[in-house]
Structure 1
Amino acid sequence: MRDVGRWGIDLTMPQSLLLALHLRDAAGLRPPTSPLLPDLPPLDPPVRPLRAAGHDIAGLDVAGQQWAAWWVRHFPGGPDALTSILPPRYPGLDGRPELRGLAELGLDDALAWCARAREVEKRVIARSPSALFETNLVTAVERELGRRIRPFSLRVVVLPVAGVHHWDVLGQAVVSLGLRADRDAYLTWLREQLVAIGRDHLARDGEQST
């Protein structure tokens, strides 16, 4: 969390979404997309395919629908989302037996993969733009707009999917870890977010003055 008093940028990689994406990739699910579920690339690094006693798993079409329903309900993550897909009860998977069976089968691999993903995240953060880069960027955008940006908080969901990507998911900023790791790409994307925030503030102030 970058917090300089007037503004804050909170980059978070929710464990619940990591576990869900691992389940999607390991089982080979193809969930339908929606406004809350963009066509997210596979995880990076790739996960090990899930198999049941050495055989292909049945019911994947149904499980993919169930997975999409879970995602739409629990995105962008948080404590309740994480609890919903953890043993022993898997409360978020009630009424979704196909998906729960896959979750039980792949939980150990998912937890191990998430631990490795956290280590990658730490390395990315260590070499990513510091708060000084972001502060300078806010100052530059304010200069461009001709006024200070009113206090704001920008929450960004970071996902370790392949490639350099970003999405606006119904107003929620989502970026790939690859974008976060690319200084120029990250600062270009962040500048766009700050300009949009500043212009939105200007528009609201204009409406209030009329």
Structure 2
Amino acid sequence: MRDVGRWGIDLTMPQSLLLALHLRDAAGLTPPTSPILPDLPPLDPPARSLRAAGADVAGLEVAARQWAAWWVEHFPGGPDALTSILPPRYPGLTGRPELRGLAELGMDDAVTWCARAREVERRVVARAPSALFETNLVTAVERELGWRIRPFSLRVVVLPVAGLHHWDVVGQAVISLGLRADRDAYLLWLREQLLAIGRTRITRSEEQHG
């Protein structure tokens, strides 16, 4: 969390979403997209296939729809979302036997993979733009707008999927870890977010006083 008093940027990589994405890729699921579920690229690092592990994977179309329903219910992640997908009870998979069966087959691999993904995230954060870069960017955007941006908190979900991508998921900012790792691409994306925040807040202020 970058917090400099009047604004904050919170970049988070929810464990529940990591486990879910690993399940998607390991099982080879192709879930239907929706406003809450964009067409997310494969994981990076990639997940090991359940087929490669010798698992008997069946009912994939049904499981893919169940997976999409779970995502819509639990995005953007959090304690309840994580609890819902964990053994031994898998409470969020109740009534979704095809998906639960895949989760039971792949959970050990998923947990191991998540540890690897966290290590990649740690290295990215170590060399990513610091709070000073973001502070300077806020100042530059305020100069461009001609007014000071009102206090704000920007929460960003980071997903370790391949490529440099960003999405607006019903008002929730989502970026790939690759975008976070690319200083220029990240700051360019962040600049657009700050411009939008600054313009939206001044417009609302004008409406309230109009």
TM-score (norm 2): 0.98
CA shift digits 1:13-39 (9 cap, x unpaired): 000000000000000000000000000
Distance 1:53 1:77 in 2: 28
- Residues of 2 paired with 1:169 and 1:109: CA distance? 28
> Displacement of 1:53 after TM fit?
7.4
Q: Which residue of 1 aligns with 2:193?
A: 193
Mapped contact 2:16–2:85 kept (Cα < 8 A): yes
- For residue 120 of structure 2, what is the amino acid of its counterpart? V
- Kindly provide the CA deviation profile for residues 138-164 of structure 1, in whole angstroms up to 9, marking residues without a partner as x: 000111111111100000000000000
Q: Is the 8 A contact 2:55 2:105 kept in 1?
A: no
Aligned to 1:34: 34
The alignment partner of 1:30 has SS state of coil
Matching residue of 1:120: 120
| Paired residue secondary structure (1:163) | coil
**CA-to-aligned-CA distance 1:165-188 (integer Å, 9 cap, x gap):** 000000000000000000000000
Distance in 1 separating the partners of 2:201 and 2:156: 19
> Identity, % of aligned pairs?
85
Task: Please provide the CA RMSD for this pair.
Answer: 1.0
Runs of 4+ with deviation above 6 angstroms: none
Unaligned runs of 5+ in 1: none
SS of the residue 1:168 aligns to: strand
Residue in 2 that maps onto 1:84: 84
Correspondence for 1:45: 45
Q: Per-residue CA shift, 1:61-104, capped at 9, x if unaligned? A: 00000000000000000000000000111000000000000001
Within 5 A, what are the aligned runs for 1:1-210? 1-51=1-51, 54=54, 56-210=56-210
User: What residue identity is the alignment partner of 2:119?
Assistant: E
Q: CA deviation at 1:52?
A: 8.8
SS of the aligned residue for 1:175 comes to strand
C-alpha distance in 2, partners of 1:143/1:104? 53
**Structure 2: how far apart are the matches of 1:51 and 1:95?**
24
Cα distance in 2 between the residues matched to 1:5 and 1:55: 51
Corresponding residue pairs, total: 210
In structure 1, distance between residues paired with 2:204 and 2:139: 20
Secondary structure of the residue aligned to 2:100 is helix
Shift of 1:51: 3.0
Residue pair 2:138, 2:194 contacting (<8 A) in 1 also:
yes
Specify the code of the residue in structure 2 equivalent to 1:18. L
Partners of 2:157 and 2:175 within 8 A in 1: yes
1:209 shift after superposition: 1.2
